[in-house]
Amino acid sequence: MKQWKIGLLALVAGVGMAGGVQAGEVEMHFQPLDKYRDLGRTTVEREDIQKSLSEHFQKLAAARLPAGQTLKIDLLEINRAGEMDMRRGMPDEVRVLREVTWPQMDFTFAVVEGGKELKSGKAALSDMNYLHGTSARYNDGDPLRYEKPMIDKWFDTEFGKKAASR
């Protein structure tokens, strides 16, 4: 079973590399997960969101940064789209989306190659038009469907658009 998984990962990595020689990596650094304003309510939810954020940054870096470069991200704060609202008679909280509850994310970043810092800065992302924007390209079940387009836009600005979208 493990050999199958390793083979599948190698195949997926090979297919991803077939379009070009890009293969940058990401190092995501998080504060203690309970310190964020809106990473999630439970430990499991916070860990899932952390994993999804890391995977999304990694996917973008692998496609846009050259091999040998590492994008280091230190997530300072996240406030996901909407807000939790406990409805009477319902067992769980519900995330309610409103015009005034747009997603926000703050992080510092550095691009490093061979121990040398090539680029660094601080990003303060927000999308006040998130209800009318580009979240449609992400699955309705994706808990970060409103945050990922902000990250995509930031990547386009910092590292150039993907060749396929030019």
Encode pLDDT of 23-81 as tens digits: 899 999 999 988 898 888 888 989 999 999 999 999 999 999 999 999 999 999 998 88
Does the structure show a pLDDT above 50 at 5? no
Q: Which residue has the tokens 């005034």?
A: 100
Q: What pLDDT does 134 receive? A: 64
Q: Which helix (H) or strand (E) holds 30?
A: strand 25-30
pLDDT at residue number 107: 97
Q: Residue 54 corresponds to which tokens in the numbers above? A: 């890391």
Calculate ∠ Cα 73-77-80, nearest 5°.
Answer: 110
Give pLDDT, residue 118: 96
Span 129-136, average pLDDT: 70
Q: By CB neighbour count within 10 A (0-12 exposed, 13-18 middle, 19+ buried), where does 105 fall?
A: buried
- Confidence (pLDDT) at 37: 86
In whole angstroms, give the CA distance from residue 164 to residue 16: 14
Residue 108 has pLDDT above 90, yes or no: yes
| Residue that wins the pLDDT comparison between 101 and 10 | 101
If one counts every other C-beta atom within 10 angstroms of the C-beta of residue 64, the result is: 20
Which residues, other chains included, contact 89 with Cβ-Cβ below 8 Å and sequence gap of 6+? none
pTM of the model: 0.77
Q: What is the mean pLDDT of the chain?
A: 80
> Which comes out higher in pLDDT, residue 121 or 14?
121
Q: What is the reported pLDDT for 82?
A: 75
* Residue 125, number of CB atoms within 10 A of its CB: 16
Report the number of secondary-structure helices (H) and strands (E) in the chain. Answer: 3, 6
Report the 3 state secondary structure along 51-101: HHHHHHHHHHHHHHCECCEEEEEEEEEEECCCEEEECCCCCCEEEECCCCC
